[in-house]
Structure 1
Amino acid sequence: MSIKLICDSLCDIPEEIGDKEYVEIVPLTVIFGDKEYRDNIDITNDEYYQMLRESKTLPKTSQVTYIQFKEVFDKYVAEGHDIICITGASKSSGTFQSATLAKNDTDGNIYVFDTMNLSLGSGQYVIKASELIEQNLKAKDVIQGLEDIRDSVKLLFVPSTLEYLKKSGRVPVAKAIIGNMLSIKPIFFFDDAEAKLIEKVRGTKHLASKLVDIILEMNDNNLEDKIITIGYGDNYSDFEKLKEEVNNRIKARRILFTRGGSCICSHTGPDILAISCSY
């Protein structure tokens, strides 16, 4: 029996993973005023970044619904597939709960996995699952493989401005104002479904090297057996600097690239730089 790999769009994954025939991304919804857009279906990333820059109010996001998951589960169970569904952190979104409710109402071999992470961090589990599926492992063994890499998943990210995080309530107002006034770029580490400030860098000149410094330190300066994913939004020049730094200083099993989706960038802003790793 073949496996269908489902993930929500809180999982930012490289295009080559999303294009695999056994992968399907179920979109969250982004709400601008009175208009709703399915993430990366009704609106592209580039269209979203432009709208975000021009909007005077912060867009809202809506979780994947029970009905969305139920329709997808029913479709692939009827086709004879086992299903692995990977979601963004249950502490950050109700999407995991929606998937679990849909699973409980569906007759079939369905596994719902809470990444306890977001964006590139959640995406690491989708990448790993695709590798294990292509090794012809059974669904339950793929899930065990995902559990086995939890301690190795690391995500660092840097928003260009704290304004969006401030508006969304993700950082205290005073800290956001001070950061913006001093042109300080905060480096956050996503841990236990929470963004934690771990470093501050003045300006952007040394930002890429500092991100690489930290990810190396977190891995005892050895990433040869790990997967690295680099992410960015509407800031290609920053991405190019980080990519060059990674290529010059890191030897990894795989190095992949992706862009921040609309649901993540609604909270961080369109200019976001991130790096993640896992086994």
Structure 2
Amino acid sequence: MDYVLSCCSGADLSKEYVNRRNIAVTMFHYELDDVEYEDDFGESLPFEELYERMIAGASTKTSQISIGQYIEYFEGFLSKGQDVLHITLSSGISGTYNSACLAQRELMDKYPDRTLYIVDSLGASSGYGLLMDRLADKRDEGMNIDALYQYAMDNRLKVNSWFYSSDLTFFIRGGRVSKTAGFFGQMLNICPLLNINYEGKLIPREKVRGKKRVIERTFELMKEYAEDRENYRGKCFISHSLREEEARQLADMIEAYFPNMAEPVSLYPIGATIGSHTGPGTVALFFWGDERWEEHT
């Protein structure tokens, strides 16, 4: 199609994937012990090294994509006569959506004959990536930019996102869990189970004791909420931070229960933008399912 489908690196896909699907990407930046890196699919700093250094005590800091970075990025397409549909990381997690909207207002004055749509994904990590995957499918089927923008707005809340962590260290460090609760949680082997709600915010939902049980519970939630339930025909993405074995175990359970899925479960590493906050020990499951709404999720 004659327009650009775009996202930011918080979608936690792979470089090979976005190149193959012709999805443009602008990068977040983060700091590790006061040294700045691009969140560029782990090329500047491998994800394994990032998480190992975090375990060793390194400090991390992320920053949203600035208005200036967005202007430069979008103008690279608009100046060539290309329209752009850009999907951002959830506004419930980052201020980058607001930056993109401010850049849009400025650029539309300069390029009044071009189209620049900005959509808040209300998602994160490979759930945001799962939305991008569906949008790339629709674009490849011939959907024009106006229809694809509306499709994104109508379907973004149908991406279900469930995260769990088997290591509370970084939840404590980030203030999401108190030191006292974290101490007892670690002692009792408690794994918090969270999801992204209808406002795009990460919300604690359950406290599950033990890795085996939290993996089972995460699987149960997909059985409960997946589109068409056991006849699910969509795709499923799982992202993780140094937990490939657990992610594979969850994927095997899903593939055995949902034989009609469009393809095997895709596994991705959690990137630096999200991982700087969740730390190592996180597994996240994403699938198409019941729409998120206030009383539900």
Partner residue of 2:47?
A: 45
Q: Find the aligned partners of 1:81 and 1:171 in 2 and give their Cα distance.
A: 46
| From 196, 214, 236, the counterpart of 2:221 | 214
Q: Find the aligned partners of 1:243 and 1:189 in 2 and give their Cα distance.
A: 18
Residue deviations 1:38-78, cap 9 Å, x none?
11242232232222222x25311011111221111111112
Residue deviations 1:83-115, cap 9 Å, x none?
111111113211111111111122231111101
The one-letter code matched in structure 2 to 1:275 is L
| From 226, 248, 262, the counterpart of 1:253 | 262
Partner residue of 2:18?
A: 18
Q: Find the aligned partners of 1:64 and 1:145 in 2 and give their Cα distance.
A: 25
The one-letter code matched in structure 2 to 1:118 is A
The one-letter code matched in structure 1 to 2:170 is Y
Gap regions ≥5 residues in structure 2: 290-297
Q: Find the aligned partners of 2:93 and 2:14 in 1 and give their Cα distance.
A: 22
Percentage of identical aligned residues: 25
TM-score, normalising length: structure 1: 0.91
* SS in structure 2 of the partner of residue 10 of structure 1: helix
CA positional deviation for 1:221? 2.7
Distance 1:172 1:262, change over 3 A: same
Residue deviations 1:152-211, cap 9 Å, x none?
211001112122122212334443333212101121111122222223322212332221
CA positional deviation for 1:134? 0.6
Gap regions ≥5 residues in structure 1: none
The one-letter code matched in structure 2 to 1:277 is F
Query: Does the CA-based 8 Å contact 2:167-2:280 persist in structure 1?
Result: no
* SS in structure 2 of the partner of residue 80 of structure 1: coil
Q: Find the aligned partners of 1:172 and 1:218 in 2 and give their Cα distance.
A: 30
Runs of 4+ in 1 over 4 A off after TM superposition: none
Q: Find the aligned partners of 2:72 and 2:231 in 1 and give their Cα distance.
A: 40
Partner residue of 1:157?
A: 163
Answering whether residue 177 of structure 2 is matched by residue 171 of structure 1, we say yes
| From 238, 244, 251, the counterpart of 1:243 | 251
TM-score, normalising length: structure 2: 0.86
CA positional deviation for 1:34? 2.3
Partner residue of 2:292?
A: none
Query: Does the CA-based 8 Å contact 1:28-1:263 persist in structure 2?
Result: yes
* SS in structure 2 of the partner of residue 205 of structure 1: helix
